[in-house]
Structure 1
């Protein structure tokens, strides 16, 4: 049986866990806690020298990177094609891959940099970099504009690749949820602030949350508790 090593405080880990649970895939979920240094431990480094989660093993396969893991599982277990198209549909696969690449270099690049340098760095005993936080916010603002204008077609498309939820939607929303760790009064922005002037993105986020229940709420319960002052979103 495949094993997914994950930490529910990790955005892409949550996306993988949600996808696995929604599609009832026989994959063992093994917690590796980043804040306890478990990703740096020798035992985990022997499995994954990169020292990051999520990470999947399946027989001789040792697979890093969330997008690769999600695509592999979709193909291995024959997930419904709205998640990821069949390989014979080369054009649909090309667009799905483009969305996954875009997520990593835009939504994740901005949101992860912003949240790490405003909240997470201090919790890990590291020094936050305000310049990196500002850079992350700039990238995120640009990415959210692209999300609404290009991927959601100005609101005429319900999800990034059409009218049904996809792997790209799941990765992007899990990344944005991390902003609930922020407090506008302390950090200048938070998830609610980012979406307040973006009704198309807000509706899309609500759609993805709804389409991925109950696994979505289960996977985010730890994050929502850890966020403290931020109330759990209504589903």
Structure 2
């Protein structure tokens, strides 16, 4: 559970988040893995709270997540994760020392952040609805197509590197990007994961780790669900 800690190293951390945001999800996993307590600040994207004057002072583009650490205000999940890694390198490192594996982590994370996630965020689907087609099924098909295209690439990339996790037997950056995307693919886009055996196996491993499970959308304070699965 996100909370405010009296520990000097994390007492000022605040995370502006939305329960179903995969970008927020990956940052929540990192905070959990590193044992960093934080104050959860819910931003309701469906109500447009991300465009409020208060929030756009933090992030002018109007996206979550935003991390506030004392005087520092940082948006974009990739930037936040690298910041947390630099500031807290000894609290569960998010990157391997091996340069080859580190590069694969960056590549996998970028496939998710640049070739999958932008095609399924709320702003994109809203634009499609208003300017292309109001048909929700067509919108979901658009996102599902790009999700599966990205998963094909990830499956090929990771088949020679994956152990229990994406690049071996330790959780690293790639896993933080994969877990939320796979969760969304299953829950929202009903992607048939049998066509992605490596990703399916990784997802099973993620489901066994408390840091991942506690970051699940269904367990966040702003979830509209009446019960968490």
Partner of 1:203: 201
Q: Does 1:3 align with 2:14?
A: yes
More contact order relative to length (CA 8 Å, sep ≥ 6): 2
Change over 3 Å in CA distance of 1:106–1:100 after alignment to 2: same
The superposition leaves residues 68-91 of structure 1 with CA deviations (integer Å, 9 ceiling, x where unpaired) of 11121122112323x2236xx655
Contact preservation (8 Å) 1:158, 1:164:
yes
Structure 1: 5+ residue stretches without partners: 183-188
Please, which of 171, 188, 193 is the counterpart of residue 177 of structure 2?
171
Question: Which deviates more, 197-206 or 101-110?
Answer: 101-110
| Equivalent position SS for 2:67 | strand
Partner of 2:218: 221
Q: Does 1:151 align with 2:158?
A: yes
Question: Which deviates more, 48-57 or 162-171?
Answer: 162-171
The RMSD of aligned alpha carbons is 3.3
Structure 2: 5+ residue stretches without partners: 1-11
Change over 3 Å in CA distance of 1:113–1:128 after alignment to 2: farther
Deviation at 1:209, TM superposition (A): 2.1
Q: Does 1:96 align with 2:102?
A: no
Q: How does 1:135-150 map to 2 (within 5 A)?
A: 135-150=142-157
The superposition leaves residues 77-128 of structure 1 with CA deviations (integer Å, 9 ceiling, x where unpaired) of 12323x2236xx6555433322222221233245x269x759xx79xxx945
Contact preservation (8 Å) 1:109, 1:140:
no
Contact preservation (8 Å) 1:4, 1:56:
yes
Deviation at 1:138, TM superposition (A): 2.6
Deviation at 1:161, TM superposition (A): 2.2
Change over 3 Å in CA distance of 1:148–1:181 after alignment to 2: closer
Partner of 1:186: none
For these two proteins, the number of residue pairs brought into alignment is 209
